[in-house]
């Protein structure tokens, strides 16, 4: 029994997760969940430096090897710097969570080119840049796991959030294609499609109305997405899947 516990603990103690957009919301909850499970945690942030540093201090105080780095993931050169930093600081990146995101609400006819460029840059280009940057090392190691955060809107589509639906559907395409491309290299790629989750991103909407529309009758918490991410990180025979964590919203 002692041997079993040591083996399990030892396995995850040696692994590093890189989480984009981990200063706030779902990414922040993922950092806490993976730290609790014994992973080393590399935290990417863009604007919320104080929150990222506070999270690092909190996780380090709990005995977790955690650190943070500022990178706007819509910029390929900053992504390269992020991944170089994480590989030097932690040795290897075993798990990448492509979480960072922004949303734009409004009619498609009112969407400006700048809004579209920014939305696509963070939500889609960023996930492509980060995946592309971590893959060479994962391929050399013949091991690795990428978890993409899409949205229920990427599955169902949403009026008033057409552009957001499009980039989140793109994340699903990225997951399906890349999972096939890198499976022979021992790398798994999966996707979570959250429903409405109580974070800064969703608080501009009427959460009560959205809870009423959700079959389970409530919105989700960031920790519930983090638990699903940890499950996918450790589910060694699961790849190419889109896991709805949405209280039934996506049914
Ligand atoms: P959030 O609370 O607004 O947090 C967004 C995170 O993304 C922040 O940590 C932010 O970092 C980071 N970020 C934004 N732009 C970035 C950039 N250019 N480079 C690096 N990091 C950047 O949002 P959330 O609800 O946790 O969303 C996380 C993911 O879940 C997103 O992909 C979102 O689309 C998806 N999602 C959310 C919901 C929901 O209901 N909340 C539902 C479905 C899917 P800084 O503050 O440091 O800039």
Beta strands in the chain (DSSP E): 16-19, 40-45, 66-70, 95-98, 144-149, 187-194, 242-245
3-state secondary structure of 75: coil
pLDDT (average), residues 55-68 = 98
The pLDDT score that the predictor gives to residue 13 is: 58
Task: Give residue 12's pLDDT.
Answer: 61
Q: How confident is the model at residue 90 (pLDDT cuts 50, 70, 90)?
A: very high
Give the closest residue (by CA) to ligand 1 atom 23: 201
148 lines ligand 1 (CB under 6 A): no
Q: Is the CB of 199 under 6 A from ligand 1?
A: yes
* 11 — pLDDT class (breaks 50, 70, 90): low
Task: Report percent pLDDT > 70 for the chain.
Answer: 95
Nearest to 179 by CA among 213, 212, 138, 125: 138
Nearest CA to ligand 1 atom 17: 72
Q: Determine the 3-state secondary structure of 16 from DSSP.
A: strand
Assign 14 a pLDDT band (cuts: 50, 70, 90).
Answer: confident
Tens-place pLDDT, residues 128-142 = 999 999 999 999 999
Mean pLDDT score, 58-66: 98
Q: Which numbered atom of ligand 1 lies nearest the CA of 78?
A: 19
Angle subtended at Cα 7 by Cα 6 and Cα 10, rounded to the nearest 5 degrees:
80
Residue 4 has pLDDT above 70, yes or no: no
What pLDDT score was predicted for residue 200? 97
The CATH classification of domain 12-244, taken from the options 1.20.1250.20, 3.30.1490.20, 3.40.50.720, 3.40.50.300: 3.40.50.720
pLDDT in tens, 183-218: 999 999 999 999 999 999 999 899 999 999 999 999
Taking the centre of ligand 1 as the mean of its atom positions, its distance from the CA of residue 5, in whole angstroms, is 35
**Ranges of each domain in the chain:** 12-244
Ligand 1 and 98: CB distance under 6 A: no
Is the pTM above the cut of 0.85? yes
DSSP string computed for 128-185: HHHHHHHHHHHHHHT-EEEEEE--HHHHH--TT-HHHHHHHHHHHHHHHHHHHHHGGG
């Amino acid at each position: 029994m002692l041997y079993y516990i040591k083996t399990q603990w030892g396995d995850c103690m040696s692994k590093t997760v890189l989480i984009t957009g981990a200063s706030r919301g779902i990414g922040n909850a993922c950092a806490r969940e993976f730290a609790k499970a014994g992973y080393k945690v590399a935290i990417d942030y863009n604007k919320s430096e104080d929150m990222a540093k506070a999270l690092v201090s909190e996780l380090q105080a709990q005995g977790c090897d955690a650190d943070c780095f500022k990178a706007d993931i819509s910029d390929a050169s900053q992504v390269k710097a992020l991944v170089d930093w994480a590989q030097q600081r932690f040795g290897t990146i075993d798990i990448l969570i492509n979480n960072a995101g922004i949303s734009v609400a409004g009619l498609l006819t009112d969407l400006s080119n700048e809004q579209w460029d920014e939305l696509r840059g963070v939500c889609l280009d960023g996930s492509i840049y980060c995946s592309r940057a971590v893959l060479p090392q994962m391929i050399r190691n013949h091991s690795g796991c990428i978890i993409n955060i899409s949205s229920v809107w990427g599955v169902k589509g949403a009026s008033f959030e057409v552009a957001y639906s499009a980039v989140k559907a793109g994340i699903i395409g990225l997951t399906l294609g890349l999972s096939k491309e890198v499976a022979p290299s021992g790398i798994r790629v999966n996707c979570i499609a959250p429903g409405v989750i109580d974070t800064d991103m969703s608080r501009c909407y009427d959460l009560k109305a959205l809870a009423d529309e959700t079959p389970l009758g409530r919105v989700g918490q960031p920790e519930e997405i983090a638990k699903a991410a940890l499950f996918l990180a450790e589910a060694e025979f699961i790849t190419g899947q889109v896991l709805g964590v949405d209280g039934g919203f996506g049914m």
